[in-house]
Amino acid sequence: MADLLLAAAPSAPTATAEPGADLDALLDAITAIKAQQKELEQQLEPLLEALNTAMATGELDPSFSHNDWAFCHSPGRLTYDFPAAVHQIEKQLKAAKEAAIQQGSATEKRGNPFWTIRPPKTQPLPF
């Protein structure tokens, strides 16, 4: 895995490199690693399902270690379904927030910057 990541990393700039080549190499390395990440996530999914099954059958505890790696099962984020009255209040709150933005009484703040990197969309196969 480390060899794959190193192979995708951009090489050091050279004096004969054309303008933009360093940026192209950087972008090529990023997209190669993102593609590998997606592939690994797809390979990991059935393995995690097998791990869930092993825990459900009592073969594993929800927390354990293996080869110095710590494993801890999380039951997932807790969410709630609210009654219609709460949804109505949410709509009213959203309208009040939008009015505050339009009136200028709400102050703008921005979170930390980040990149979103998506693979190209695959074309449907002709049938």
Dump the DSSP string for 16-73. TPPTTHHHHHHHHHHHHHHHHHHHHHHHHHHHHHHHHHHHHTTSS-SEEEETTEEEE-
Q: So what's the pLDDT on residue 5?
A: 45
Q: So what's the pLDDT on residue 123?
A: 66
Q: How are beta strands 69-72 and 63-66 bridged, if at all?
A: antiparallel
- Residue-wise pLDDT tens for the chain (127 aa)? 445 444 545 454 554 556 678 999 999 999 999 999 999 999 999 999 999 999 999 999 999 999 989 999 999 999 999 999 999 999 999 999 999 999 999 999 999 998 888 888 876 666 6
Beta-bridge mates of residue 70: 65
Q: So what's the pLDDT on residue 19?
A: 67
In-domain check, residue 84: no
In-domain check, residue 30: yes
Taking only the tens place, the pLDDT of each residue in 17-39 is 566 789 999 999 999 999 999 99
In-domain check, residue 27: yes
Long-range contacts of 26-32 (CB under 8 A, 24+ apart): 30/117, 31/117, 31/119, 32/8
In-domain check, residue 119: no
* Residues 6+ positions from 60 with CB-CB distance below 8 Å: 51, 54, 71
In-domain check, residue 3: yes
In-domain check, residue 123: no
Domain that holds residue 58: 1-12+20-73
φ, ψ (nearest 5 deg) of residue 115: -110, 140
How many domains in the chain? Answer: 1
In-domain check, residue 1: yes
In-domain check, residue 4: yes
- Considering the entire predicted model, what is its pTM? 0.58
